[in-house]
Amino acid sequence: MQLLYQTHSPYARKALVFAHEAGLAGSIEVIHHETSPTRRNEDVFARNPLGKVPVLLRPGLPALFDSDVICAFLDTLHDGPRLIPANGEHRWQALRVQAIAQGLADAGIAVRWETVRRPEHLRYPPLRDGHIEKLLSSYDWLERELDTDTLHVGHVALATALDWLEFRDLPGFRDGRPRLTAWFDAFAMRPSMQATPLSGDTHD
C-alpha cells in the first residue's frame, strides 16, 4: 500500500501514527505531496476528488481518502486489539474524542487563514476569534472528559492535532490544564509519534 502524505498535515499524520500503532507501518510506502486549496496537485486530485491528503492507495482496489476512513480500514488489517472499539460506551467515547480532535485541527487551520495565510487586507478578526474560542473550549472539555486508559483512535487523532497546534504556534492547551498536558507529553514520547515528526511549511 501507498499513503499519499504531507509532513505538516495533522490529518495525514493521524493516519500514519495509527498505522504505526496497529503494527502496519512497515507495509505502507509513504509518499509526500504538497497540497493547498490554492495550488492544485494533479496527482492527488486523480485519486481524491477533494484534492487532499491523506489518500491510501490499495493494490487492485479503489483509493481510500479521509483519515477517519483510512484508520477504519487499517483497523481491519491487524490482529491486535481494535483501536476503534466495536460497541458500547468505549466506542462512543473514542469517536467523541476523535471528533474533538478533528474540530481542533479544522479550527486551527481556520485561525491560520485569518492570521498568516490569507492576504492581510482580506482577514476577518472576528472569525479568527470565533475559531480561537472553539480551541479553548475544546481544551477545557478535554481536561474534564478525556479518558486516558485504553488506547483508541481518539487518542491518536488528539495527539496529532495537539502536536500540530503547537508546531504552528497556535493558541495553546497547556495553561491551567495539567491533566491534558501530562497525557499529551506522555503520548508524544510513543514510538509512533517519534517516528512521524512534523516538518515543512504550507505553500499557498
Give the single-character DSSP code of 47: T
Same domain, 37 and 94: no
80, 11, 30, 48 alpha-carbon torsion, rounded to 10°: 110
pLDDT for the residue numbered 136 = 98
pLDDT of residue 203: 86
Give how many domains the chain has, as a whole number: 2
Q: Are residues 28 and 66 in the same domain?
A: yes
The mean pLDDT values, 10 residues at a time, for the chain of 204 residues are 98 98 98 95 97 98 98 98 97 98 98 97 98 98 97 98 98 98 98 98 88
Q: Is residue 94 part of a domain?
A: yes
Residue 36 is part of which domain span?
Answer: 2-74
pLDDT for the residue 119: 96
Say if residue 101 is in the same domain as residue 172: yes
- Note the pTM of the prediction, 2 decimals: 0.97
State the Cα–Cα distance between residues 104 and 77, nearest whole angstrom: 28
Both 65 and 98 in one domain: the answer is: no
Q: For residue 204, what pLDDT is reported?
A: 87
Is there a single domain that holds both residue 33 and residue 127? no
Judging by beta carbons within 10 Å of its beta carbon (0-12, 13-18, 19+), is residue 191 exposed, middle or buried? exposed
